[in-house]
Amino acid sequence: MDYATLLQILDSTIRLAVPLLLACLAGLWSERAGVFDIGLEGKMLVAAFASGAVAYITGSAWAGLAAGIGAALVWAVLHGIASITFRGNQLISGVALNFLASGMTVLVAQAAFSQGGRTPALSSSGRFNEVTLPFADAVREVPVIGPLYADVISGHSLLVYLAVLAVPATWWVLLRTRFGLRLRAVGENPAAVDTAGVSVTRLRFAAVLIAGVLCGIAGTYLATALQAGFGREMTAGRGYIALAALIFAKWRPWGALWATLLFGFFQAIALRPDVVPIPVAALEALPYVLTVLVLAGFVGKAIPPRAGGEPYVKER
């Protein structure tokens, strides 16, 4: 494999890792507050559809982003009502919302555009186009580092850089602010937080809504940056890979970055069977197999937040 090929693979690694990263951070917020979120997939899917549809109608990528976040927030609120307010099973709620997203997006897309459950292709203004970072062209001629900067680091859509910035932001808010401390405490021992006079319900809703915003950006990225428009089931299991990455990352923000880059790398080389002579099926199964191994504690132990999955009952 020559250097140019490697750069191409790294470039697509970043492209493919970004939706995983955003969804993984979404899951991190939610699960750190003690709300399991199987519904990342569904939230990304509704966001992808809403952003694709609105960006097509208005011709504005930013309107698409707003619509994408809005749609994912609706799903997040539903998840919150079911699993926080009515203390339903968080896992079942997530599964339900995934099905709802899968069916609704196609139904509405078909009713609105009659193109077999797709949105029409977006024009350039409806997409988040590639931005060139400063000095990218100037340093291109510098050996090794120049092409790396110009072709791999530079030249992505704005949402890619936003996703990368979300990592330190998540780290800082979650681990260095009072809000973050309380939020993590709710995921470990909600009764203690309740005793301290802080609303468990409000904190958990906040976490679920933040997860909604991040999933909204992830879905928008799929429909308006990675591709030009929405296609049915376009999330293609990314929500579940993000969950896998979250376990791999042991529920930590920087870990999420490395885990999703790793999984993005697997996806990138699966697209290049000419370079890596491994069966595609094996590469596709790899993230899942690795996750099972991590879960089983064979490769480092991943311990989830202690109150995860349990609705908090105040009176007891």
Partner 1 sequence: MRQIPRWADVVLVPLISLLLAAICATAVILAIGQDPWEAIVTMVTGALGSAYGWGYTLYYTTSFIFTGLAVTMAFHAGLFNIGGEGQAQLGGLGIALVLLYIPWPHWTVALLAAIVASAAFGAVWAAIPGWLQARRGSHIVITTIMFNYIAYALIVWMLVDVLRPPGQAEPATARFAVGIPALSDIPGLNLIFSDAVPANISLFLALIACVGVWALLWRTPLGYEIRAFGKSEAAARYAGIRPVRTVMIAMALSGALAGMMSINNVMGESGRLLQNSSEGAGFIGIAVALMGRNHPFGVVLSALLFGFLYQGGAELGLWTQIPIDLRVVVQGLVILFTGALDHMVRMMLGLVFAPRKVA
What are the residues whose beta carbons fall under 8 Å from the beta carbon of 292, sequence distance 6 or more? none
- Which of 4, 5, 86, 179 is close enough to bind partner 1 by CB under 8 A? 86
Q: Is 98 in the site for partner 1 (CB under 8 A)?
A: yes
Q: Is 165 in the site for partner 1 (CB under 8 A)?
A: no
Whether 30 and 172 have beta carbons less than 8 Å apart is answered as no
Alpha helix (H) residue ranges in 33-157: 40-58, 61-80, 90-113, 136-139, 145-147
What are the residues whose beta carbons fall under 8 Å from the beta carbon of 244, sequence distance 6 or more? 263, 287, 288, 290, 291
- Which of 297, 299, 306, 310 is close enough to bind partner 1 by CB under 8 A? 297
Q: Is 110 in the site for partner 1 (CB under 8 A)?
A: yes
- Minimum distance of partner 1 from residue 171's CB (angstroms): 24
Report the site for partner 1 in 33-52 (rule: CB under 8 A): 36, 38
What does the per-residue mask of binding to partner 1 show for 181-220, with x meaning CB under 8 A? ----------------------------------------
The strand pairing partners of 157, in sequence order, are 130
Could you identify the residue written with the tokens 């296609």? Answer: 231
Alpha-carbon gap, residue 58 to 125, rounded angstroms? 9
Q: How many CB atoms lie within 10 A of CB 111?
A: 9
- Minimum distance of partner 1 from residue 145's CB (angstroms): 37
Exposure string for 11-31, b = 16+ CB within 10 A, e = fewer: bbbbbbbbbbbbbbbbbbbbb
The strand pairing partners of 156, in sequence order, are 131
Question: Which among 15-23, 86-94, 163-171, 252-260 is the span making contact with partner 1, rule CB under 8 A?
Answer: 86-94
- Which of 93, 119, 157, 170 is close enough to bind partner 1 by CB under 8 A? 93
Could you identify the residue written with the tokens 């196609």? Answer: 106
Report the site for partner 1 in 232-291 (rule: CB under 8 A): 237, 240, 243-244, 247, 279, 281-282, 284-285, 288-289, 291
- Minimum distance of partner 1 from residue 263's CB (angstroms): 12
Using CB under 8 A as the binding criterion, the count of chain residues that bind partner 1 stands at 48
Binding footprint of partner 1 on the chain (CB under 8 A) = 36, 38, 78, 82-83, 86-93, 95-104, 106-108, 110-111, 117, 237, 240, 243-244, 247, 279, 281-282, 284-285, 288-289, 291-292, 295-298, 304
